Every structure is written in structure tokens, then in C-alpha cells.
Amino acid sequence: MKSTLNVEDFYNVILEIARLIHENKKYLTDLDSAIGDADHGINMDRGFSVVIDKVGKMDINNSDIGSLLILVSNTLMETVGGAAGPLYGMFFMNMANKAMGKREVDYKEFADMLEDGLKGVQEIGGGTQPGEKTMVDTLYPAINAFKRGVERGDIEGLKEVLLREAENGMKSTINMVAKKGRASYLGERSLGHQDPGATSCYLILKAFYDHM
């Protein structure tokens, strides 16, 4: 049973994220047009298309996971344009912290990286908690369930837990009133719509799932 991720896995995950975002560009933008400014899919796709370009030029055999994630972070912060740029930028920058110089991490280290990433998103979002109809509603339950599983030594089926929690978290935003971001101006009218940021977070965790 696989319980490590190496630099090539991360490289493939990044390409997979870009592919999933591109495939779902219209879907993400449609979700955003209901409660935001109708640009989430466009912005994310613009950012990740530059990411593929830059990551593609990296010499992956002579690189490490941290450097790869920093490159992703800087590129997203510079090119996404909307709030998702710095939020995902922080996610990947914080994930990189404990992976600098490493060419492989085990699931325990990976769980810590994800947790650091989540904390970064919560912090710069202004102390975002679950239940506020944001990216955190997908990341928080999924990452915490994964971390608990790793701590118990329960690796079998753990990636399925990560994906399931992410999907449930994403869907739970449908019944939430937005408390953060532009959607919060809508108040009760944000009910009944799935959050676009929670949805792109699901796609990102799905890409990790596919390579675990």
C-alpha cells in the first residue's frame, strides 16, 4: 500500500489540477455567477495555465517538493487576479514550508503539509472557520480526517476518506449562508448555491487522491 508521495507525484498532481480546473472552467464560473463575480473558473484556469508552463520548464529530477510548490504559489499569486490567487498561493506556500529540500514525504508529513496549507488559508481569509461557505468547508473536514487517520496508523482506505470528506464538505456549502467574501453581501440569497471556492478545493484534493 502506497504511503509516500515523491516529487514526481507532486508534479503529476499539479498537472492534474490544471487539467481538472480547465475541464471545469465553465462550471466554476457558472457557480460564481450565482453568488460572486462570475470569474472563478476563468481566473483559476488563467493561473494554472501559466503554472503548467513554468512547472513544465523545471528540471524535476533535480528539484524538490518544496521548490515545486513555491513555484506554484508564486505563479498563482501573480496571475490568478481574484481573491483565489493569494488564497491558493498561501495554501501552496504553507504546504511548501516543511517540504523544502525533500524529494519524498510520507503520509504523516503530507498530512502536516496539508494542515499548514489550510491554516494559511484560514489566516489570511480573516480567521475563516468551517460553516462560512468558503474553501475552508472542503479543506477543513478532509484534511482533519486525513490527519486523524494517519495518526491512528489507518492508511488503508484513507485516501477515500479524504475524497469523501472533501466532497461532503463541498456539498455542505449549498445549505450555508455566506459569511466571507463577496457572496456574503448576498446574505440569505446565497443559500442554495454551492460555493465555487469550495468546489475548486475539491478538484485540488481530487487530483491528490488520484496520485496517492
Partner 1 sequence: MVAIIIVSHSRKLAEGLKEVLDQISKGKVKVVAVGGAKDGGLGSNAIEIREKILSLSGEDALLVFFDLGSTIISTKAALSGIPKEIAKKTHLIDAPLVEGAFVATVEASAGSPVNDIIKAAEEARNARKFY
Residue 185, C-beta contacts closer than 8 angstroms, at least 6 positions apart:
none
Q: How far is the CB of 161 from partner 1 (least distance, A)?
A: 30
Distances (CA, A) of 175 to 29, 120, 193: 19, 25, 7
Question: Is 86 among the residues that bind partner 1 (CB under 8 A)?
Answer: yes
- Considering beta carbons, is residue 82 or 196 the nearer one to partner 1? 82
Question: Is 36 among the residues that bind partner 1 (CB under 8 A)?
Answer: no
- Considering beta carbons, is residue 58 or 77 the nearer one to partner 1? 77
Binding window for partner 1 (CB under 8 A); candidates: 71-79, 105-113, 133-141, 146-154 = 71-79
Based on DSSP, count helices (H) and strands (E) in the chain, helices before strands. Answer: 9, 2
CB atoms within 10 A of CB 54: 13
* DSSP 8-state symbol, 38: S
Task: Tell me how far apart the terminal alpha carbons of the chain are, to the nearest angstrom.
Answer: 10
Question: Is 74 among the residues that bind partner 1 (CB under 8 A)?
Answer: yes
- Considering beta carbons, is residue 42 or 161 the nearer one to partner 1? 42
C-alpha span between 180 and 84 (Å, rounded): 13
- Considering beta carbons, is residue 133 or 211 the nearer one to partner 1? 133
Binding residues among 45-64 for partner 1 as defined by CB under 8 A? 46
C-alpha cell at 177: 449562508
Binding residues among 125-144 for partner 1 as defined by CB under 8 A? 125
Question: Is 196 among the residues that bind partner 1 (CB under 8 A)?
Answer: no
Pick from 20, 87, 136, 139 the residue near partner 1 by CB under 8 A. Answer: 87
C-alpha cell at 108: 504523516
Give the x-and-dash track for 95-124 against partner 1 (CB under 8 A): -------------------------x--xx
Question: Is 77 among the residues that bind partner 1 (CB under 8 A)?
Answer: yes
The C-alpha torsion from 129 through 132 and 134 to 140, rounded to 10°, is 40
C-alpha span between 134 and 15 (Å, rounded): 24
Residues that bind partner 1 (CB under 8 A): 43, 46, 74, 77-83, 85-87, 89-90, 93, 120, 123-125, 181-182
